[in-house]
Structure 1
Amino acid sequence: MEQIQRYDDEVTVLAGTPAADAMRPEAPYRRFTAWCAGVVAAGVLLVVGIVAVVDPYHLYGLVDSPRLNHVKPLPEQYREQIKLAQAEAVRPDVILLGNSRAEVGLDPDSPLLAARGRGAYNMGMSGTKLTVSERMYAKLRADAAPASTAVIGVEFLDFLVSPNSRLEPAPVQAPSPWQWRFDTLFSIKSLTDALRTVRLQKAADPETMTQRGQTPLRDYNRYARTEGYYAIFQQKARDNAKAVLKKPHNLFVAGTDSSESIGRLRALLDTMARDRTDVHLVIYPYHAQLMAMFEDAGLLGTMDEWKRVLVREADAARARHPDARISVWDFSGYGDMRCERIPAPGDTRSVTRWYWEAGHFKSTLGDLMLQRILGGDGTFGVRLTADGLDANRQRIAAERAQCAGTYPDVFAGASDLVAVARASTP
């Protein structure tokens, strides 16, 4: 009993002291929990630090090193949000809008733009329509400032609609600012892209997006060296043939003179006219192979009518806004660079100058377009007016005859691909 009493007295004396706390069974768990929390916090800080320093999405600009992070990977998610954040930081004087054809072929770092001292940003987005261009421009002008010049690539195929289509686009559920910002700073994907960025510095011709938004398709150089340009053209041509055959031949929703794309174009022209932006609507320079597919699918008549609609909308916008500066440029046809020969099968040494494949032109051709649009130099491309539509149609017919005479294989090959696609279509 005396020993038990003495033990109780010792416990009473030790109560509340560090020694007593150490004797409690929950003490080791507290230390373990604190250690785990410290490890997690250190891990979070490490991931955030790596992503912020390597900066795979051009969002922070803390370091720019050729050995670490100068070349960035092409973002696989949140590309619209990333591009907007980059454009807002640049506050460009010239913006380039459109789908992948503009994103690939129009270089915002073009010497032409640099020589004129005009900061540019390529807001083109692959797989998108004018709805996205309008939304991105509205966000840019609200958060930064309106651009003084806009070059807008307009896609013929996007204006083709079923008569029963909707006039208004379906609502888009965009991620909240905190969500995409958090995901691009702290996530497995952002960490993976940061590590991928480091590896890209030693890669030859990596898939990338430049600091000013262009996706130059440098990775196609690798495919060309191993498989040749013929394989690239053929793979894309098979996809193009299927896509062209699925398209309707209508431009308007039944009972109207409009469609979703026409409505978005009107809204975009009105906004830019109020901003006093110099607007250039650009009809893409489709390669002769793709133009031949349009012809085989019976779409050339619709294409002529579409060009008339573009000119009509530009004229109507100028009537609504007398000070508006809006031009329509037609770079389509069959002549000159657009009839560029496709290297032969198995040829891995020949390099095309103007096209990656029939749907995507290189920035060498894009520079000629920018030179014509912004500088007024050269003969490539025609500025369309209502009075000049017939002459433009005659120009294209003459170019087609010349291309067919010097390169008939491009028409025969396109017809074969369309025939195969038509036979495989249920």
Structure 2
Amino acid sequence: MHSYKTWTRNLLLSVALLLPLVGLGNYLVDPYDIYRALRTPGFNANKNIATKHSRLSKPWLVEHLRPRALAFGSSRTEVGIDPGHPGWNPQAGPAFNFALGGAAIEEIAGRFEQAQDSAPLNQAVIGLDFFMFNAFNHNPMSEPGDGSNLDSLDYLLSTLLTVDAVAASFDTLRKQNPVRYPGVRPDGMIEESFNERRVARNGHRSGFQRIESHFFRDNLFPRPAGKYAFVNPETGLDTLEQFRKIITLARAQGIDLKLFISPAHARLLEVIDQAGLWPQFEQWKRRLVEVLAKEAGGHPDRQPFVLWDFSGYNSVTSEEVPAAGDTATRMRYYWESSHYKRQAGDLVLDRLFAYNSPERSVPADFGVVLTPANLEAHLAAIREGKAAWQAAHPQDRAEIAASRQAAGLPPR
């Protein structure tokens, strides 16, 4: 009995001594890019693991870095919108990319409020996507470890004293090659090598087909509901009301808010069309414009919030896709049909910030400010562009139809 008690006491003492060392090790390695006490190339500077845990790391960083200029949106914004663009308001300090993969508008509204609570925002850029307004979309902000409770002891324990944190630290230590194991930049943007590796291995067209299959199977019709609607009658969620919440808060707090519809590639618009959602796609834009027009009407003495539309068929979004198996050719503006490159994102920011770059010029057909006066003509012009693109791209349409059929959707 005495020997058992001694063994137990020694074990507890060893654990008590070991836990602080484990916590210190995880704190210094910092696999989730949260604490930033040490960032040494070759040791822990490359944060590959953080790409899979952005909802754990980014809310913490916003809480503690307190940036006053933020980019919000889905992974399209995370990949394409650069916080280092010179058009950001310098008085707001360094910008940070707070976009999160697969974010629904409900989550963006919550993160927007969360960020404003951390530090009064001076400027915000929000990339809007059709899929994020589906009221049947899953909201990751309601999950454990989502970064919504930043002051809890559980949050600290989960990032410092868990087996997962130890495994993440070891993974970080062995994945310090930023080309082989691309990570997240300190400003929240995804490293370009994250997508470059896929293109180098499989070519652009393979990526287009992969993403389009994902949209047919999961993104546009998320399980288990398998529906697209702006309102979920079961939960009462109204996605346009979530958008209105963002606008209302921005107005009340005097935030310089820049809004844009993402420049998804023309092939992704074909996915929306073949999914039978084109009427909803147009109605979505009408509803966004209605929300903004009503808000502007309530504040006639204030500058209205502007919505730029970069979707449609223009010289950027209609960029030709290299042939299957071509791993050498690089597209200028796209990784695949959903995610645009920083080169396209810079053009978006040039428009939003009215920034004239000495290095590039924005194509005249790229970007339209949507208003109640021009909206229907704009939608009609996009329909004409769709017909022209479809007539000129039978192979692309056939590939997308095959993806639709493989996803089990009925033919159109």
TM-score (norm 1): 0.81
The answer to whether residue 164 in structure 2 is matched with residue 178 in structure 1 is no
Residue by residue, what CA displacement relative to the aligned partner does 1:128-153 show, whole Å, maximum 9, x if unpaired?
Answer: 211111112222222x2221121112
The answer to whether residue 373 in structure 2 is matched with residue 387 in structure 1 is yes
344-353 or 283-292, which moves further after superposition? 344-353
The corresponding residue for 2:341 is: 362
The answer to whether residue 407 in structure 2 is matched with residue 421 in structure 1 is yes
* 8 A contact 1:105–1:360 mirrored in 2: yes
Residue by residue, what CA displacement relative to the aligned partner does 1:154-193 show, whole Å, maximum 9, x if unpaired?
Answer: 221233458xx9xxx8993656521122110111111111
The corresponding residue for 1:100 is: 75
* 8 A contact 1:95–1:122 mirrored in 2: yes
| TM superposition shift of 1:413 | 2.7
Return the index of the structure with the highest Cα Rg: 1
Matches within 5 A, 1:105-184: 105-113=80-88, 118-142=93-117, 144-160=118-134, 172=142, 176=149, 177-184=152-159
Correspondent of 1:304 among 282, 286, 298: 282
Correspondent of 1:71 among 17, 24, 46: 46
The corresponding residue for 1:22 is: none
The answer to whether residue 30 in structure 2 is matched with residue 55 in structure 1 is yes
User: Structure 1 residues 194, 349: closer, same or farther in 2, change over 3 A?
Assistant: same
User: Structure 1 residues 115, 188: closer, same or farther in 2, change over 3 A?
Assistant: same
* 8 A contact 2:72–2:97 mirrored in 1: yes
User: Structure 1 residues 352, 100: closer, same or farther in 2, change over 3 A?
Assistant: same
* 8 A contact 2:87–2:355 mirrored in 1: no
The corresponding residue for 1:348 is: 327
User: Structure 1 residues 294, 77: closer, same or farther in 2, change over 3 A?
Assistant: closer
* 8 A contact 2:230–2:238 mirrored in 1: no
Residue by residue, what CA displacement relative to the aligned partner does 1:10-66 show, whole Å, maximum 9, x if unpaired?
Answer: xxxxxxxxxxxxxxx84x666545543343233212211211111112222221111
Aligned-pair identity in percent equals 26
The answer to whether residue 386 in structure 2 is matched with residue 400 in structure 1 is yes
The corresponding residue for 1:275 is: 253
Structure 2 alignment gaps of length 5 or more: 357-361
The corresponding residue for 1:260 is: 238
User: Structure 1 residues 65, 245: closer, same or farther in 2, change over 3 A?
Assistant: closer
* 8 A contact 1:335–1:403 mirrored in 2: no
| TM superposition shift of 1:287 | 0.8
User: Structure 1 residues 86, 245: closer, same or farther in 2, change over 3 A?
Assistant: closer
* 8 A contact 2:209–2:399 mirrored in 1: no
Correspondent of 1:336 among 315, 329, 333: 315
* 8 A contact 1:54–1:194 mirrored in 2: yes
| Structure 1 residue matching 2:71: 3-state secondary structure | strand
The corresponding residue for 1:18 is: none
Distance 1:393 1:224 in 2: 33
The corresponding residue for 1:327 is: 306
| Structure 1 residue matching 2:48: 3-state secondary structure | coil
User: Structure 1 residues 244, 138: closer, same or farther in 2, change over 3 A?
Assistant: closer
User: Structure 1 residues 253, 287: closer, same or farther in 2, change over 3 A?
Assistant: same
Q: Over aligned residue pairs, what C-alpha RMSD do you find? A: 3.1
| TM superposition shift of 1:117 | 7.2
* 8 A contact 2:92–2:122 mirrored in 1: no
- Return the letter of the residue paired with 1:369: V
329-338 or 171-180, which moves further after superposition? 171-180
- Return the letter of the residue paired with 1:294: I
Aligned length: 391
Matches within 5 A, 1:207-286: 207-216=182-191, 218-243=193-218, 246=221, 248=227, 250-251=229-230, 260-286=238-264
User: Structure 1 residues 89, 325: closer, same or farther in 2, change over 3 A?
Assistant: farther
TM-score (norm 2): 0.84
Distance 1:420 1:74 in 2: 32
40-49 or 111-120, which moves further after superposition? 111-120
Distance 2:124 2:17 in 1: 46
| TM superposition shift of 1:339 | 1.4
* 8 A contact 1:105–1:216 mirrored in 2: no
- Return the letter of the residue paired with 1:110: H
* 8 A contact 1:334–1:396 mirrored in 2: yes
| Structure 1 residue matching 2:199: 3-state secondary structure | helix
| TM superposition shift of 1:415 | 3.2
The corresponding residue for 1:288 is: 266
| TM superposition shift of 1:91 | 2.0
| Structure 1 residue matching 2:44: 3-state secondary structure | coil
